[in-house]
Each structure stands twice: as structure tokens, then as C-alpha cells.
Amino acid sequence: MNKKQMFSVGSFGLVIIVFIILTWMPNRAISNFDKIRPTLFVHGYKGTENSFGFMLQRFEHEYKWGNKALIYYVTKQGEVKKYYPRLGEEKPLYVQVIFEDNRASFDMTSSWLANVLKDMQQTYGVDDVNIVGHSMGGIVSLEYIKQFQGKSYPSVHKFVAIGSPFDGIYSEKYFQINHDPAAIDLRPDSKALQHLRDRSFPKHTEVLSISSTGDAIAVPESVHALRNIVPHQQLTEIVINDRRLGHSDLHESRKVDRYIYEFLWQDQVQ
């Protein structure tokens, strides 16, 4: 066999190996998602990959609590794109959801979240998830729970809301700066928030709400409005008494990390 033939055979073999890896990775994820309930992390208003990025780095690399299995990126047109950071480890699996349009309405964003969960169901056989949402991410996750789950979409086993203003944002100065569809929905008297309160909450979903006395955006009074939505026997509330712990600081707090861990995975992670 001459060098040219050897190169051709080698190149063909490399193509086959790459094809096997790309085909094998999603299939490997299917079996892992079957064994371990994935947890989605949903950022809030104007959020980016950094909103939960550092928390997930701590969970994975510092605490060794699990691994970031998937990243879903949703375009402004609602197209779902996904990336496979790590798919193989059999431990709590994290799925980060990032919306390109991070100022869209509650209804639009929750429908994009539903697209993500539908893809997880169809591709990986996922029928049951946990969700962690920060700020408006908690609100649109609640909208998903009320509007979509149980209607051919995955159900939510446990839901964590971090600094989510379920009665809206009380500061009028906030709306002098922000005027987009999400800001309209975040007003205390908005139709979107009223619609969120009007419908019943499923009996099987457990909820943890975390807030801080230092949060000037999601003040405790607005966060506590969740009591009017979720039955008391399904709701656990934690208010961190720390004036230095602001709205965006919540997803950078190791104390918040621990509360999430204890609620979601304490019986799973050694």
C-alpha cells in the first residue's frame, strides 16, 4: 500500500470515528437522562450565559455535585440549538437554558422554554425535570408549569425560584428605564401576572422560593405573593437576612448554592 492509499484509508477511518462519536453522544445522554432527572437553569430578565454560568461551575468543579450535560440556546426566532459539554457521567445533570431575546414577554419566553423541554422529551426521552429559575426566569418557569406541563410536555418534579418577584417590581424608577415586553409584564398590575395567578397549580410539584432582604428588585413582599399561587404544603420559603445580598448576588451566593443542593439532590449526591 503506497502513502497516498494509506492517507486515504486513514482519512476515511477518521471520518468514521468522528461520525460514531457524534452519533454516540446523544444516545449516551438518553440512557443517563433515563436514570437521573435533569435540572434546568433558566436566567432572568436581561440574563446571559453568565447568570447561572458561575453557579454551575461551582456545582460541577468546586463541590463535585454533578455535571453540566447540555446547553440550550434559543434564538430570537425560537429556534432551539444545543451543545453537549458532558454527557457521560451518571450524577445530577444540569441543563443551562439561554434566550437570545432576554427581554421577551412571559408568554413568549415560556413557550421557548416549552420548546426546549419538548426537544428533551423527543430526543432523550425526558418526561420529568427539575427547574431552577432566577428572577423572571422563575416567573416564566412557573408559567411553563401552569400552561404546558401535563399537556404532552415534561412535568416538573421540583421547582426553585431565586429572587422572583411574583407580584411584580414595585419601583417605578425601574420602568422609567425599561420599556420592553418583559418590563410591561413585570409591572404589578400587568395582565401577565394576573393570568399567572388565575390558574391552578399542579399538586405533584414541590417548590422552594429563595429571597433576600437586600434585594431591591424582588423585594420579599413581592416574592411572598407565590403563597397565593402555590398551596402551602408544597411551598418552602427561605428569606436570607442580608442587606448586602442584592438581586444578582443571589446566583453568586454559596449559601444559595447550599439551599438548592439540599432541596434538590441531598439524597442523591454523596
Residue 270 covered by a domain:
no
Which CATH number fits the domain that encloses residue 135? 3.40.50.1820
Residue 269 covered by a domain:
no
Query: Residue 6's pLDDT is what?
Result: 46
Alpha helices in 66-135 (DSSP H): 106-124
Residue 48 covered by a domain:
yes
Q: Which residues pair with 156 in a beta bridge?
A: 129
Residue 14 covered by a domain:
yes
Residue 52 covered by a domain:
yes
The pLDDT tens digits for 63-110 are 999 999 999 999 999 999 999 777 666 678 999 999 999 999 999 999
Domain residue limits at 241? 3-264
What is the number of other CB atoms lying within 10 angstroms of the CB of residue 231? 13
94 within 8 A of 130, measured Cβ to Cβ: no
Alpha helices in 131-215 (DSSP H): 136-147, 172-177, 181-185, 191-198
Mean pLDDT of the chain: 88
Query: Model pTM greater than 0.95?
Result: no
The pLDDT tens digits for 183-228 are 999 999 999 999 999 999 999 999 999 999 999 999 999 999 999 9
- The count of domains in the chain is 1
Residue 72 covered by a domain:
yes
Residue 162 covered by a domain:
yes
**230 phi/psi in degrees, rounded to 5:** -105, 130
